[in-house]
Amino acid sequence: IIIALALTMAIIPLFFQSYNPRCGNCTIEVIFDECNSTDDEEELCVVRGNLTVANVLFFIGFSMVFIMLIFGTVAMVWVYVHVRRQETKTKRYNFRGVQRDNHRESKRIRKILLLYTMSLYLCWGIFAAMVALESLGSIQIVYGIRVVFKEAFPPLLGFFNMLVYFLPKCLKYQQDHPGTWLTIAYFHVLCPSVNCTYCISKTRSGEKEDAVGASGINFA
């Protein structure tokens, strides 16, 4: 369904010449110019494209973004509540040590869900809110800021989700190698076969400090 809908929305503007340049981009736009049939110089007419098709496709695309945000939010909230209820239910039958482990695991899952939701709203929510406010005539967004949130952040959603997905492994790597920065932990987790001279020296220096501290302990 998604592929068919995307192909339909991409092919329809071709028949109405609605793909037009705008500030270096090829978007679904309508080109206006002065009308030759009237004496009013301020009146503009459509010279290329179809205004109805552009408005309908804009409405459909905008609605899909909001549906995605609502669905993602509802799904995350449902999983969050389910995990919280499961933790509360298991408290009745588990020992204290097991309860502590379950609480730690539940907290970790809830944190991951929150990070996924934040990345979704950062990449699509801010842009959707700006477009909605501009469409309602409430505010006028600076063009540069609008382009940044439209062109840069939506493609980064996959990158942010990747960072969230590998975050537990990176935190575990930091626990196994104290003193390691989170960026270096990401490098080791994502590229385990690549040697980093600075990373190795940093790890060895941390191990050396641990060894010196251990040698100075007097058990007498």
How much is the pLDDT for 35? Answer: 72
β-pairing, 25-28 with 19-22? Answer: antiparallel
Statement: residue 207 has pLDDT above 80 = no
pTM of the shown model: 0.65
State pLDDT tens for residues 89-120: 777 666 555 566 666 777 788 888 889 989 98
Q: What is the percentage of the chain residues whose pLDDT exceeds 90?
A: 4
The 8 Å CB, 24+ separation contacts for 176-179 are 177/203, 177/206, 178/206, 178/210, 179/203, 179/205, 179/206, 179/209
